[in-house]
Chain A
Amino acid sequence: MVPSGQDDARIVAGLLEELQADRARLVEKVRAPKWLAPGFGLIAASYVTTPAFPGEGAGDFVLITALVAGLLLVALSYRITGIKFTRFGVQAWAAFAAALLGTLALFSVSLGLAATGLIWWIAVPAVVAFVLVFWLASLIFSTMRERLRHVR
């Protein structure tokens, strides 16, 4: 039966508030696995170090391994948190693009260092890539987590 009276409306308002409370409870329960952000940081850092390893196919191998590892991390985090997020959101996409562009920029710095023979200096952009992607991956997760509150 469709609620129609003032008392019914009061109950309906309570139901809607309960939906928000449930979502807030879900947000509180969701915690990113501790290895998630460092995992993405390591993937970025390993990609940035590839110019230090000469040889045909080394770059492609690392790139493919990094992509597979990234997908595995996401799949594993779904299993552990018990949540598959539905939407990325503008902020998360911006952070993802920043991580991608930042890693590519640091990769080109590594290429330059390798070309000039400064192989050991490649550790610097690799560490920067780790820190940058670690931070951005944490930001993406917390952004997606907070978005749970603001769905219809």
Chain B
Amino acid sequence: MSADGIFNEIIHAPLRLRICGLLRSVDELDFAVLRDTLGVSDATLSKQSKALTDAGFVSVTKKTSASRDDSRRITWLRLTATGRNAFDDHVRALRKIAVGFEHLDNANS
């Protein structure tokens, strides 16, 4: 962990950042809830979450649901410990950049 944060190229892609941002606030999130909250398609979310999974930042668990008669599975997504640290570092790095912008903005006004 770094006080200034560490910029992470994988997380920085806008949708991936939003996925991590939502997963950071919970223990696990259902794929459908995540998709609806972000307002994206299944395919888009699958693609981006796969990139995060491949990087070891997100883990995926599939569980059968008795409440669903079509035998579909509930897919739970969660940030791994590595993912949490990387996201926290990345957000710190972003905040540092944004604070610099606010200082500049205040100086100009």
Binding site for B on A (CB under 8 A): 1-4, 6, 8-10, 12-13, 15-16, 18-19, 22-23, 25-26, 29, 78-79, 81-86, 147-149, 151-152
19 contacts between A and B (CB under 8 A): A9-B98, A9-B101, A12-B94, A12-B97, A15-B17, A15-B94, A16-B94, A19-B17, A23-B25, A29-B37, A79-B74, A82-B29, A83-B30, A84-B26, A84-B28, A84-B29, A86-B25, A148-B25, A152-B88
Q: A9-B101, A152-B24 are in contact. Are A82 and B30 (CB under 8 A)?
A: yes
A152 and B91 form a contact (CB under 8 A): yes
Total interface residues on B, CB under 8 Å, equals 34
B36 and A29 form a contact (CB under 8 A): yes
Of the candidates B65, B67, B101, the one having the most CB atoms from chain A within 10 angstroms of its own CB is B101
Interface residues of B in 41-95 (CB under 8 A from A): 65, 67, 74, 76, 88, 91, 93-95
B21 and A23 form a contact (CB under 8 A): yes
Residues of A within 8 A of B36 (CB): 29
